[in-house]
Chain A
Amino acid sequence: MDLSEIAVSSLRHAKDMDHAESYVVRSVIRSAYIDGGRISNIETKTDSGMCIRVANDGRLGRACVTLSDEGSAGSCARSAVRVSSFSPKNSMFRGYPSPSRSLIRTDVFDDRIDNITDDGLKEILSAVIDSCDTDIPRGLLRLSTIRSAVANSNGLLTEHRSTMMYGHFTSMFRGTKNGEGTESVHGTSLTLDPERIGKELGRKARASAEARPFRGKKKITMILPPCELGDMIMSSAGSALNGENVHYMRSPWTDKLDTKVASDVLTMTDDPGTPGPLCSAFDDEGTPSEKKVLVENGVLKSFIRDSFIGSSTGNGMRRNSTDAQNIYCSAVGIRPMNMIISAGRHTREDIISQTDHGILVEKFAWPEADPLTGRFGLEVRCGYLIRRGKVVGTVNNALMMGNMFDALADIDLIGSDGENMGCITVPTMSFSGMELAGN
């Protein structure tokens, strides 16, 4: 049976419910690892499962199963019906989406990923290893094909297919002081450049080994490249734009529609028509996706929502941008498909040359800001100190402190080098007034 048939036929097991929805997904994942500079584990994974959600008289239930035999769909529906009977009435639920057409066309399927072989995977990883002049102790390349269908009791039926590439590599320079570099790649097609990745890994590991502990404390301009800035924006602005956080009033941007929340230079859109790993014509609830302006010239224009929050903007997602396994077990959450910060006109070199006193952070321990407050204190594992427009040294062992909501309201410069980091595309940006503290 194909996925749409499973999705539609499974609804009959929940026909007594006021509302029912079935999501069915099948993934094939091929991955290969580098361990200690050599290609080691090679994996083939086939994964299929479904999630059924029901609502009856305001009582909600959800059940998920792996599709291991013909009885799986029926047992999933029965479980959803059973658990819903224990739920108190939910005051918010208004129903699942009705059928509707999408105006978005996406190109997110690459036959080369769908047909990748062991030898193809090994060839790519060998090229990464050969291009890197330091060791690569760990690396992973994962290529996935995802096919899914959503059906609901309103007569909605949508299908989606996409391919996804995710790679994460760490390099290591061994010397009197060891240094580590990392590189990540995200995408929907097999467009990675193994030689560039290998060279960057080597460069970053050497730079990290040369870093010296930062001493003292100073006010400084923070320059973040896309690989560090993406998660900082998602954990702060991404959380503030989430309709569920707005509904429960834990978004600092609640009640700030049409008011200024960021610098004039900041414009953010969510654009499902671009080739991002989550981009699709419909979200994972079957609501048509659409291009939305979220922040325009610093003014908050809209939030993103799913069907539970109501007035869905087509952002009810089960998929994530790195792994296609066990998607059916994920609860629907509100996520942008590809949140794009409009690029500026400065190259990264321009931004450095216009910075009087700053640091370009190549690697934080883990880039994130507190979603409620925007506060952050992050360990700098490798950063380039800048004085009067020039890099004057490499530092580590320092804490970068600030507030991401304040930083967005006081952006210095925006780069022209936008890069996709999963569900966000960001350029390099600089922010003044941060605090850097060392030992």
Chain B
Amino acid sequence: MMHHMLSKSVAKMQDLGAEFCDAKYQKIKSIGIQSVNGDIRHLSDKVMGGVCLRAWVGGRWGYHTSTSFTADDIISAAETAVANASGSPKGNVELNVKIIKKSRSQNVKVHPDDVDMDEKVRAVLDLDSSQKRDRVLNRIGSYSEEINNNILINSAGSEIEWEEIRTRFRAMSVASDGQRMERYYNGPDGTCGFELIKNADVESLGRNTAEEAVATLRAKRTPSGPMTVISDPMISGLLAHEVMGHASEADEIVKKRSFLTDAVGKRVASDVVSMYDDGTVEGAHGTIIYDDEGTPASRTRIIKDGIYVGYMHTLESASLMNVQPTGNGRAENFGKRIWARMTNTFFGPGDRTLDDLIADTKKGILCDKMVNGMEDPVGGGFEAKVLRGFMIENGKITDMLRSFTLTGRALEILRTMDAATKEVVFDGGMCGKGIEDWVNVSSGGPYCRSGMIVGGG
């Protein structure tokens, strides 16, 4: 039924003059459970569904999105989408669309629909109670699952149906000594089913989170100024994502807004740096089967041994730059615009161990977990807020340091990167384009050593 309605809307948009058009139906089912101090604070079951129709006319997109999709609604939506393709014309740009007719589901071991709500609630409460400690003011446990079903039909002849499943399990403790408050968080996430929770050691996850929150109460103020910094995989990932990732989204390149415009073939980092965006990493939070334009996910090499290699594309940016789309045309949901977006973005591994890196650092800072970061595609700047860190003096860890901020010029940081460890670790989260349009991503990397400006508040 839905296939038929989407096909009719595509035919209608073509009749009205769309050079290319697509129609997508999306249904997102999600469950969220959150506890605070032993009480269930939120327990919700959400079902969102809607259609997004896009018409491409004269190099302009017109969109109509709707949560109502009777036969009449969908025809009227098709008319509006074509009428909306009335911005400034860009001339003849033909979109290069591969025809795909496939139906795919995500591989999960335990589908969340097959698990009783009771078991999910119990996992959250167990995570909450395992954080009980002196000086822990707030124990927070949370679980979320999202099952995202998509049908996409386009005027090139593609008919694709796919499912994405994500789960996340997280503990956060807030500790206080009566004067100060500090927090710590931990927990796994990924494109997987309830096996994420079944495989987790809930007791030790909660206990460790609480103990680290309490330990952070004795952290000292971080010194300010230029320093040698060993970024943990989370901060390495943030550096990859915020600094080079956003600036490598090709819609920023075609507008010449990115400092990496025309950078292909140039040295942008030391030769220990390789970087990728890879939507196919099994189980990572940013993994997708197809992007929201129906292009299969792929692995894009962005930096190879310090040399800049390439960009992440939508259908539009790929056509404008005469290359193949890379499966990075993504939208927050059916109601939002498609942009060039990252999937799983990370630095490749090096050949060192963390112990070796610390022993080899005379004075520096080791980072432990991120708070957030902000991109700067125009200026090539970098800002990362770090939850806490450790001072390194004469090759040894000394004091624990409370939250601080890292900044610097992207290319200067990457040129000073002189060592990386062997293991790449991913961390899932949400990424906005500017200040909205949130999509599921992950970022990661090994521990990396470079020079940055450090500031503690």
Which of A208, A326, A399 is in CB contact (< 8 Å) with B453? A399
Name B213-258 residues within 8 Å CB distance of A: 224-226, 251-252, 254-257
Q: Chain A residues with Cβ under 8 A from B407's Cβ?
A: 365, 379, 397, 399
Is A60 interfacial (CB-CB < 8 Å)? yes
Let me know if A87 and B121 touch, CB within 8 A. yes
Asked whether A439 lies within 8 Å of B64 as measured between CB atoms, the reply is no
* A208-B379, A250-B137, A365-B374 as given contacts; A45 in contact with B46, CB under 8 Å: no
Instruction: Tell me how far the C-beta of A58 lies from the nearest C-beta in chain B, rounded to whole angstroms.
Output: 10
Per the bound structure, the CA–CA distance linking A33 and B88 in Å amounts to: 11
Q: In the assembly, what is the distance between CA of A369 and CA of B403, in Å? A: 11
Q: A38 and B46: CB pair below 8 A?
A: no
Cα–Cα distance between A326 and B50 once the two chains are bound (Å): 11
Contact (Cβ within 8 A) B43 A61:
yes
User: How many pairs of A and B residues are in contact by the CB < 8 Å rule?
Assistant: 255
Chain A residue numbers with a CB within 8 Å of B64 are 43-45
For chain A residues 64-93, which have a beta carbon within 8 Å of chain B?
Answer: 64-68, 75, 79-80, 82-84, 86-88, 90-92
* Shortest Cβ distance from residue A279 to the other chain B in the assembled complex, whole angstroms: 22
Q: Nearest-CB distance from B251 to chain A (Å)?
A: 7
User: Which residues does chain B contribute within 8 Å of A179, judged by CB atoms?
Assistant: 378-379
Which of A46-54, A155-163, A267-275 lines the interface with chain B?
A46-54
A114 within 8 A of B: no
Q: Provide the bound-state CA to CA distance between A192 and B407, in Å.
A: 34
- B403 touching A331 by the CB < 8 A rule? no
The answer to whether A377 and B87 touch across the interface, beta carbons within 8 angstroms, is no
**Nearest neighbor of A53 in chain B, beta-carbon distance:** B44
What's the Cα separation between A250 and B181 when bound, in Å?
Answer: 8
List B104-124 residues whose CB lies under 8 Å from chain A: 116-118, 121
CB of A32 within 8 A of CB of B379, answer no
In the complex the two chains form, is A399's CB within 8 Å of B455's CB? Answer: yes
Which A residue sits closest to B39, measured CB to CB? A90
A138 at the interface (CB under 8 A from B): yes
Task: Decide if A43 touches B63 in the complex (CB within 8 Å).
Answer: yes
Q: Which of A32, A61, A373, A377 has the most CB of B within 10 A?
A: A377
Interface size class of A (residues with CB under 8 A): 35 or more
Contact B381 A397 (CB under 8 A): yes
Known A-B contacts A43-B337, A49-B67; A379 and B405 likewise in contact (beta carbons under 8 Å): yes
The A395-431 residues at the B interface (CB cut-off 8 A) are: 396-397, 399-403
Expressed in whole angstroms, the Cα–Cα distance for A32 and B60 within the complex equals 12
Chain B residues with Cβ under 8 A from A92's Cβ?
A: 39
Nearest-neighbour CB distance to chain B for A288, whole angstroms, equals 25
Looking at A41, A88, A252, A365, the one whose CB has the most chain B CB atoms below 10 A away is A365
- CB neighbours (8 Å) of B390 from chain A are none
Distance of A274 Cα from B85 Cα, bound (Å) = 37
A365 pairs with B46, CB closer than 8 A: no
Q: Which residues of A contact B256 (CB under 8 A)?
A: 36, 137, 174
Q: Which residues of A contact B335 (CB under 8 A)?
A: 45, 47, 325-326
Beta-carbon contact of B68 and A437 below 8 Å? no
Known: A180-B379, A365-B374. A377 touches B404 (CB 8 A): yes
How far, in Å, is A150 (CB) from chain B's closest CB?
Answer: 17
When distances are taken between beta carbons in the complex, the residues of chain A under 8 Å from B374 are 365-366, 379
Question: Does A104 interact with chain B (Cβ within 8 Å)?
Answer: no
Bound state CA distance, A137 and B253, in angstroms? 10
Contact call B255/A86, Cβ cutoff below 8 A: no
Contacts of A168 in B (CB 8 A): 434-435
By a CB distance below 8 angstroms, the chain A residues around B61 are 40-42
Within 8 Å CB of A75, what residues of B? 47
Q: What residues of chain A lie closer than 8 Å to B382, measured between beta carbons?
A: 379
Point out the residues of chain B lying under 8 angstroms from A217, CB to CB. Answer: 224-225
Q: Is A438 an interface residue (CB 8 A)?
A: yes
Chain B hits for A82, CB < 8 A? 45, 117
Known: A41-B337, A48-B68. A137 touches B257 (CB 8 A): yes
Q: Bound state CA distance, A381 and B379, in angstroms? A: 9
Do the beta carbons of B455 and A137 come within 8 Å of each other? no
Given A366-B374, A370-B457, A118-B83 contact (CB < 8 Å): yes
Q: Considering only CB atoms, which chain A residue lies closest to B407 in the complex?
A: A379
Report yes or no: B174 in contact with A438, Cβ–Cβ below 8 A: no
Bound-complex Cα distance A178 to B80 (A): 38
Across the interface, do B457 and A329 meet the contact criterion of CB distance under 8 Å?
Answer: no
Residue contact A178 to B259, C-beta cutoff 8 Å: yes
Q: Known contacts A168-B434, A172-B257, A331-B44; is A437 also within 8 Å of B85 by CB?
A: no
Contact between chains at B39 and A83 (CB < 8 Å): no
Interface membership of A335, Cβ < 8 A: no
With A68-B68, A217-B225, A248-B138 as known contacts, state yes or no: A365 contacts B381, CB within 8 Å.
Answer: yes
Please report the C-alpha to C-alpha distance between residue A250 and residue B136 in the assembled complex, in whole angstroms. Answer: 11
Chain B residue contacts of A400, Cβ below 8 A:
455
Contact of A68 among B69, B84, B404 (CB under 8 A): B69
The distance from the CB of A382 to the nearest CB of chain B, in whole angstroms, is 9
Assess the B87–A437 pair: CB atoms within 8 A. no
Cβ-defined contact, A377 with B385, below 8 A: yes
Q: Mark B108-151, 1 if CB is under 8 A from A, else 0.
A: 00000000111001000100000000000110000000000000
Q: Tell yes or no: B376 within 8 A of A by CB.
A: yes
Q: Is A193 an interface residue (CB 8 A)?
A: no
Q: Using an 8 Å CB-CB cutoff, how does the interface string of A243-277 with B read, 1 for contact, 0 for none?
A: 00000111010000000000000000000000000
Q: How far is the CB of A192 from chain B (nearest CB, A)?
A: 18
Measured CA separation A39–B84 after assembly (Å): 11
With CB as the reference atom, state the residue of chain B lying closest to A40. B87
In angstroms, how far is the closest chain B Cβ from the Cβ of A400?
8
At the interface, yes or no: A375 with Cβ under 8 Å from chain B? yes
With both beta carbons as reference points, the residue of chain A lying nearest to B34 in the complex is identified as: A331
A401 to B224, CA, bound (A): 9
Interchain residue pairs with CB less than 8 A apart (10): A36-B256, A63-B45, A86-B117, A90-B41, A137-B252, A170-B434, A217-B224, A365-B407, A375-B457, A401-B457
Given contacts A44-B63, A60-B40, A90-B41, 9 further A-B contacts (CB under 8 A): A39-B88, A41-B337, A45-B64, A46-B65, A68-B68, A83-B117, A377-B457, A378-B405, A397-B408
Rank and list the top 7 A-B pairs by shortest CB-CB distance, nearest first: A377-B405, A375-B457, A399-B455, A38-B88, A36-B255, A377-B455, A365-B383
**B residues adjacent to A (C-beta < 8 A):** 31, 36-37, 39-50, 60-69, 80-81, 83-88, 90, 116-118, 121, 125, 137-138, 174, 176, 180-183, 224-226, 251-252, 254-257, 259, 333, 335-337, 371-372, 374, 376, 378-379, 381-383, 385, 402-405, 407-409, 434-436, 453-457
